[in-house]
Amino acid sequence: MAMTQSLVTNRKSFMLQIIPVMLCFFAMGFVDLVGTASNYVQKDLALSDSQANLFPSLVFFWFLIFSVPTGMLMNKIGRKKTVLISLIVTAASLFVPAFGDSYAVMLISFSLLGIGNAIMQTSLNPLVTNLISGDKLASTLTFGQFVKAIASFLAPVIAAWGATTAFPTFGLGWRALFVIYAVISLLSISLLAATPIDEEKPDRATGIGECLRLLGRPFIFLCFLGIMCHVGIDVGTNTTAPKIIIERLGIPLEEAGFATGIYFIFRTAGCFLGAFFLRSISPKLFFGISVSMMLAGMAILFFCDTLTPLYSGIGLIGFGNSNIFSVVFSQALVYTPNERNEVSGLMIMGLFGGTVFPLAMGYAADAIGQAGAVAIMTIGVIYLMYYTFKIRNI
């Protein structure tokens, strides 16, 4: 009887801890509004593809700068406090567009959003390891990505609602999206601050050079490139999908923006199902199936010019890309159990791929149309196919 009561108490304590952490994953998904927002800014300010793609590139540029220092910061103040700092920066970034939608204002907002998200992604994933054992880590991170994907999916829906609704949005239009997500960020701060989480103390402090030297380990470097390709495809698809629809079918942005919703619907479903499949299927097999779906989706986007096949291709990419991050990240963490903070910083620095890919895609699209952007993303998919053969059994 006493043992049963103890199990119930432990389960209740775990739920009180994991719910605020999962709300933080929801806040982590706010970064994906950059694809939707950049399309609306492009329309409002009459920007070219390469100019508009500067916004997502700017967001993910900060991952290159802040990820490794954040790993060091976690060693000094702990993972929970670092996540709280990230949420505060994120909330600030989301309130900025309430004061205008000029090019300068949006650059400031997206910069702060990128900084906050870089700190959050570096610190939140290792924080989960204080709650979950290693054999369940990949599936738990995948469930976190499912929660994150809900926020990503809702972004284009809320933006379209703000742009078209007769309901009062105080003159914000599609920018009401930012204020709504800012309020949720404040809620996340309150709940996480009130949640006690035990953290192990690091054995020693590390420097930037020591962190970067971990990239000298071949498997860690492969994981780093895998994260770069994953996020490049993710940002690239949710930014480019509506442009493909507009280019080939002449549909206005408010309707074409549903293509981004399709991507996130399938990515959300993939994260949800992946949380269960990864408990029973080997990571290598699951990863291989996921990458094959992405490759098929890219082929459809490259060759097709009717709505239903294009939606199907976008859905395949969303479903296939949904679990790439979780598998690669967990592989890196388990490979280096004594240096998780440092490796987390390196892996999140790989989200710099969200800068490299959109920039290259923007120039390719300006040169030859959206097929050029799809070709750039396909290079990333081919690398992930190669990475599949390097995955280790955890």
Confidence of residue 2 (pLDDT cuts 50, 70, 90): very low
Confidence of residue 55 (pLDDT cuts 50, 70, 90): confident
Average pLDDT over residues 110-119: 90
**pLDDT of the residue at 6:** 42
Contact (CB, 8 A) for 126 and 140: no
What residue ranges do the domains of the chain occupy? 10-388
d(Cα 28, Cα 44) in Å, to the nearest integer?
26
The pLDDT > 70 percentage for the chain reads 89
d(Cα 65, Cα 349) in Å, to the nearest integer?
8
Average pLDDT over residues 189-212: 74
Answer CATH for 10-388 from 1.10.620.20, 1.10.533.10, 1.10.3720.10, 1.20.1250.20: 1.20.1250.20
d(Cα 96, Cα 105) in Å, to the nearest integer?
7
d(Cα 265, Cα 275) in Å, to the nearest integer?
16
**pLDDT of the residue at 83:** 93
Q: Which residue has the higher pLDDT, 359 or 167?
A: 359
Q: What is the pLDDT of residues 255-296, one digit of tens each?
A: 777 788 888 889 888 888 887 887 788 888 989 999 999 999
d(Cα 244, Cα 35) in Å, to the nearest integer?
14
**pLDDT of the residue at 175:** 76
pLDDT beyond 70 at 13: no
Q: How far is CA 313 from CA 104, 123, 138, 317, in A?
A: 35, 33, 26, 6
**pLDDT of the residue at 74:** 84
Confidence of residue 86 (pLDDT cuts 50, 70, 90): very high
Contact (CB, 8 A) for 240 and 138: no
Mean pLDDT of the chain: 82
Going by C-beta distance under 8 Å and a sequence separation of 6 or more, which residues neighbour residue 99? 105
Q: What is the pLDDT of residues 136-179, one digit of tens each?
A: 666 777 788 788 878 877 877 777 777 666 554 556 677 778 88
DSSP state letters, 236-285? HHHHHHHHHHHHHH---HHHHTHHHHHHHHHHHHHHHHHHHHTTTS-HHH
Whether the full predicted model's pTM is greater than 0.75, yes or no, is no
